[in-house]
Structures are given as structure tokens and as C-alpha cells.
Amino acid sequence: MARNIRRPILIGVVLLCLASAGAVTLMTRSRRDGIPRSFAREMTWVKCRNPRCNAEYEISKKDYFVYVEKNQDWRSAGAPALVCEICGEPSIYRAVKCEGCGFVFEMGSVPLDYQDRCPRCKFSRLEHDKKQNGRDG
């Protein structure tokens, strides 16, 4: 009797392992070098900290994250600076373009708040979406 019960349990365990291996394979194939493939098509804003330049422009998320991954100093809490296409200085950091007023600013400009909070008009897409979904609190 015990043998009849063990067999379906073992078959279930084997099937669960195969399903898990398939899921891991699918998730891994959608990334290359730890960067999602969709990032090649998506853009992100960047802003130059050089006061003589103050350039702001978009680059592909893939280019941004590949650079950060290759140049990250794991002793540092922040991302490394990219080289500015305009002034040539290593002074480019990830930014956000405010959907409220259009101002481009570095992520996390408003301390202890949503990282996309605009320092000018105080709009935050993250906060807005959270309120729309009824999860405010």
C-alpha cells in the first residue's frame, strides 16, 4: 500500500522539478549579461552634473546598465558617472523627466521621498500610480 502512495508523490516531485527548471531557463534566456533584452529598445534620461554643461538627453537603458555593470565600484553606494557626450567629462547620471512640468532632474533629488519626485512641481508618477490603484497609505 505504501508503495502505491510513494509513486504518485515521486512523479509529482519530478514534474515540479522539470517545471521549475523550465521556468528558470525561460527567465535566463530573456536576459543577456544580466540586462533584460527589452532595455535595448527602451530609453532613459541622463543629466550632466558639470555646471558649465548641464546637458540632458536620452540614452538606451541597455547602454546605461552595461556601462554601470562594467564600471561599478562595489565599495561605492552610487552608480558610476558616465562620460558626457557634450562636454566629455565623467559627469552624467541617471535622471527623470517630470511628466508634470517637463523638468529633467537626477533620480532621488528629493531626499526621503519617491525617487521620481520632481523638485520643481513635486509630481511623482510612482505616487500617482499608487493612489490610482487604491494603495495609498
3 state DSSP class of 127: helix
- Do 118 and 78 have their domain in common? yes
- Do 65 and 121 have their domain in common? yes
Residue 106 is placed in which grid cell? 537626477
- Do 14 and 42 have their domain in common? no
- The whole-number pLDDT of residue 36 equals 67
- The whole-number pLDDT of residue 76 equals 81
- Do 75 and 94 have their domain in common? yes
Residue type for 45, please?
W
Cβ neighbors of 43 (< 8 A, separation 6 or more) are 58, 59, 60, 61
Residue 100 is placed in which grid cell? 508634470
What residue spans of the chain are helical by DSSP H?
A: 2-29, 61-71, 125-132
Least Cα distance to 36 among 61, 59, 72 occurs for 61
- Do 59 and 9 have their domain in common? no
- Do 73 and 116 have their domain in common? yes
Segments forming the whole domain that contains residue 40: 35-132
**Pairwise CA distance, residues 13 & 110, whole Å:** 50
- Do 39 and 7 have their domain in common? no
- pTM of the predicted model, to two decimals? 0.66
In the DSSP assignment, the letter for residue 117 is -
Residue 124 is placed in which grid cell? 511623482
From the number of C-beta atoms within 10 Å of its C-beta (0-12, 13-18, 19+), residue 46 rates as buried
Q: Which mean pLDDT values do the consecutive 10-residue runs of the chain (137 residues) have?
A: 69 68 56 62 94 96 90 86 96 95 93 93 94 71
3 state DSSP class of 85: coil
